[in-house]
Amino acid sequence: MLFNSLHFLVFFPLVVGLYYALPPRWRAPLLLLSSYYFYFSWRPVYTLLLLATTLLDYYSGVRMSWLGTKQQRRPWLYLSLASNLGTLFIFKYFNFFRETAGALAASLHLPYAVPVLELVLPVGVSFYTFQSVAYIVDVYQGKLEAERNLGRFALFVAFWPQLVAGPIERGGQMLPQLRQPHAFDYDNVASGLRLMAWGMFKKVVIADRLALLA
């Protein structure tokens, strides 16, 4: 789902309206459900990748919180880093390095046959991967308590307003906000809508038109 699509113009007011209409205890589940729907609507199969990243890093964080020293925590840190960065490498950089190695091998007249991976780059994979990695590193270093609520951690990773375009948030900044109730504030809503409208204008009217000339 793109922010400048008709789909989003229906999705956004519906989610915001339901958020303030529901009792506080149901708001986080609504945001989590809407975040996964937001991602699922683009390419459903890659929702499994987002879910796998979430489950692995949630469990790694909880396991590290049970261990007293960095030496004991290190295997879980390495597991998370290998999984997250390995996934990012395969989807974003494997074919680039394959072509580079192929060109080098050809210049040296060496046989080289590594297949091209015909993979579609998952939307937002860099943002949610690095956000999750930053959380794991903070837990490993003892700067952040591991989040024990799986639903809240899943929302931290998949929160739809920042899922596909960032920014990357640190757990220490975002997780406390997800624990707090948020009352309706007219001034905040009006200010937010003005910023969104201005951003949409710059994207649709200015940037998209200039892209046609590039």
Question: For the residues of 98-122, what is the DSSP string, one character each?
Answer: HHHHHHHHHHTT----------PPP
Could you tell me what percent of the chain has a pLDDT over 90? 58
- 212: Cβ contacts below 8 Å, ≥ 6 apart: none
Q: For the stretch 141-157, what's the b/e string if a residue is b when 16 or more beta carbons lie within 10 angstroms of its beta carbon?
A: eeebebbeeeebbbbbb
Q: Quick one: CA torsion of 54, 59, 65, 67, rounded to 10 degrees? A: -140
Half-sphere exposure of 164 (CA within 13 A, CB side): 18
Place 113 in a pLDDT band, splitting at 50, 70 and 90: low
Q: What is the pLDDT of residues 36-90, one digit of tens each?
A: 999 999 889 999 999 999 999 999 999 999 998 899 999 999 999 999 999 999 8
Q: What is the pLDDT of residues 3-34, one digit of tens each?
A: 777 888 899 999 999 999 999 999 999 999 99
| Closest among 208, 210, 213 to 2, alpha carbons compared | 208
Residue 5: CB atoms within 10 Å:
11
Decide: 160 and 8 in contact? Cβ < 8 Å.
no
Residue 213: CB atoms within 10 Å:
5
Q: How far apart are CA 76 and CA 97, in angstroms?
A: 28
And the tokens for 22? 């529901």
Q: Classify residue 122 by burial, with Cβ atoms within 10 Å: 0-12, 13-18, 19+.
A: buried
Provide the pLDDT for residue 8: 86
Q: In terms of C-beta distances under 8 Å and separation of at least 24 residues, what long-range contacts does 191-195 make, across chains too?
A: none
18: amino acid identity, one letter = L
- Give 121 or 70, the one with higher predicted confidence: 70
Provide the pLDDT for residue 135: 98
Provide the pLDDT for residue 9: 86
Provide the pLDDT for residue 71: 93
